[in-house]
Amino acid sequence: MDYYSSHISKLIEEFSKLPGIGAKSAGRLAFHILSMSNEQVDALTNAISSAKKNVRYCKDCFTLTDEEYCPICRSQKRDHKTIMVVENTRDLAAYEKTGKYSGVYHVLHGAISPMLGIGPNDIKLKELMERLRGDVDEVIISTNSSLEGETTAVYISKLIKPTGIRVSRIASGVPVGGDLEYVDSVTLLKALEGRVEM
């Protein structure tokens, strides 16, 4: 038996499709939306619609941006000869919060996972190899410490080694099985400083 009208049930159903949102959280979000003013709801829907229409991949690093090149890739203050490879934009943001990394990034948008049917061609590896044709001294592999992240790191290392570019891996200050976006800044900084050559 439905407790709510079809509109409320549909709103809860749509929220529950979002990652990390269970039935209770979806209900809380739905009722919060319904308690908001029309202006607040319009602002929220416009922000979602505008982001969906205008956000795209940076032409260099493939992070999400609303311009051709992201602010990091455009910056002349960054070390463009050092590229940190991360799985997603949230991982990039986690490292930026440390304020200690001065290189640039490459966002893979995933990790190799044969069990999930994700191979090297399904992430931004080809684009990384194209970037390495330029003037690059080091690639820091900062994929997650999961099975998929480790598989991806080893695969990337084997691709890059023959080019003569230095390849390093972040140290194990990051917990195994943990996602970088949830790791505190000090731990991320220690992992970066303790990286090892692959």
Domains of the chain: 6-54 (1.10.8.420), 70-197 (3.40.1360.10)
Q: What is the pLDDT of residues 63-99, one digit of tens each?
A: 999 999 999 999 999 999 999 999 999 999 999 998 8
Residues of the chain scoring pLDDT < 70: 1-3, 172-178, 184, 186, 190, 194, 196-198
Q: What DSSP letter does each residue of the chain carry, written as one string?
A: --SS-HHHHHHHHHHTTSTT--HHHHHHHHHHHHHS-HHHHHHHHHHHHHHHHH-EE-TTT--EESSSS-HHHH-TTSEEEEEEEESSHHHHHHHHHHS---EEEEE-SS--BGGGTB-GGGTTHHHHHHHTTSS--EEEE---SSHHHHHHHHHHHHHHGGGT-EEEE--TTSPTT--GGGS-HHHHHHHHHT-EE-
